[in-house]
Amino acid sequence: MNTYLIGVDSGSQSTKVYIYDQDGNVICGASEPLKPMMSRKPGYVEHPGDDLWDSLKVVLKKLMHEFKGDPKEIVGLGICSIRCCRVFMDKDGALAEPIMSWMDVRAYETYIDDAKIAYTGSTSGYLTFRLTGEIKDTVANAYDWQFPTDLDTWEWSKEEAHFNKFNIPREKLFDLQLPGTVLGYVTSQAAVETGLPVGLPIVATANDKAVEALGSGLIESNVGLVSLGTYITSMVFGDKNIKNSSNFFTNLSNLPYKYLYESGGIRRGMWLISWYKSIIGEEYAKKAQSEGFMVEDYLAKEAELLLPGSDGLFTIPDWLAPATQLYRKGVMIGFDERHTRGHIYRSLLEGIALTLKNSYDAMCQELESKPTKIIVSGGGSNSDLYMQMIADIYGVRTVRNVVNGAASLGAAISVAVATGFYIDYETAVRKMIKQRDEFTPNMANHDAYNKINAVYRKLPNLLENALKEMYETLK
């Protein structure tokens, strides 16, 4: 008898859902884009309407229509959603306010109580309620800078002073469960709206980066992960809640009572490539298409002919400034008459990789860790050029998996554990994750990038005062 598992990846730009078999093979999938974010005031970034739930309903109906197997053989659905958002619900479970994005400054401010708000929590808790009617959520999406979470016990804090500083009444918080447990079951109403079978188990996962880490196979301390998404970061795995660190923060893993150490990241990371493609020009895009290429592959053909350093064209990938440092801007510096579209494309990729490498090195140095392998996940890992570039910059072997949309696979792995199909996460990872290929660093290029980075890493500080003055002049 076949066994099927559904993994939901509810992100900032789209909702993606896949059905996997017990060996981690993709059976079918569907996606639905989200609407553009709203911004009523500077620093406010909200999801319009009920967009997360509406998109999930649409994509699940697409998925179930596409699925040709027996729905009775689907054993559960793992729900992974965006971290660091804030959701307010009324007594009936409907949204009392628009969902605050992780980019919204208010998502990190002290809660202000309001009689119309019956519950406050994360996006995963909200979507769980819409599917099951339960006021339950994974503890691994309740960050201790937004909620009174105890990262040692994986529960709401029992220290009165710590709990009270968040100003959230206990009755307005969700009940917390560990990743890999069943939160509830699909209601008859949700079944009508989504096409899912009534009574299907809904399984707790973690925050989206932790679920992606699990779906990438990051369960050992001697391996690093580079996550190439809208938000780009790097992670290593561990078993201690390290507090007061300088160059990383401690994140709850999708494995209960295990942790991820996460470096500083890049906001709007791989979005930069989408942005560049959008301004490259219709004529160029048509030319690429006429020769059977996607635009990024056509650009890669030009970029791969160039040496490390893009002939002196450097990019600082700061296209989305934090709300507390609005002066920060992206910078491209070093233009001369040699530079082409391919130079710009390569410089964007190098800027992202070098910026992240510097954060990764600082984290690993503080952890006294030297990972010998890097896993790369996310859409950017589809590029052979970028995989080799990352191997050359980091100087270690770099691998990508067959499934690089790792968040949905991590959610499906959680289902496999919660329903008892696999005895533990380690077994499920071994059975369900398959490596696609591996890239060995070109050490001559690695040496060249080390020399380039000795200059590159100084640029943000050198440019900071000029950017501050420019911001004050133009605002």
- Domain residue ranges of the chain, discontinuous segments joined by +: 4-210
List, in order, residues 6 or more apart from 205 with CB less than 8 Å away.
Answer: 78, 79, 80, 124, 138, 140, 179, 180, 211, 214, 254, 410, 411, 414
pLDDT at position 230 is 83
pLDDT tens digits along 179-206: 999 999 999 999 999 999 999 999 999 9
Helix then strand count (H, E) for the chain reads: 14, 21
Residue type, 396: V
Bridge partners for 149 per DSSP: 156
Element (H, E) at 263: strand 259-263
pLDDT at position 395 is 97
pLDDT at position 81 is 96
Element (H, E) at 223: strand 223-227
CA atoms within 13 A on the CB side of 139: 23
Which residues of the chain fall below pLDDT 50? Answer: none
- Here the tokens at position 408 are 């949905």
Residues 441 and 391: beta-carbon distance below 8 Å: yes
List, in order, residues 6 or more apart from 279 with CB less than 8 Å away.
Answer: none
CA atoms within 13 A on the CB side of 163: 11
For 204, phi then psi, to 5°, come to -70, 135
pLDDT tens digits along 219-230: 999 999 999 988
Looking at domain 4-210, which CATH architecture does it have?
A: 2-Layer Sandwich (3.30)
How many residues comprise the chain?
475
Q: State how beta strands 4-10 and 74-81 pair.
A: parallel
- Here the tokens at position 241 are 């809640």
Q: Which residue has the tokens 């990972």?
A: 371
Rounded Cα distance, 231 and 372, in Å? 24
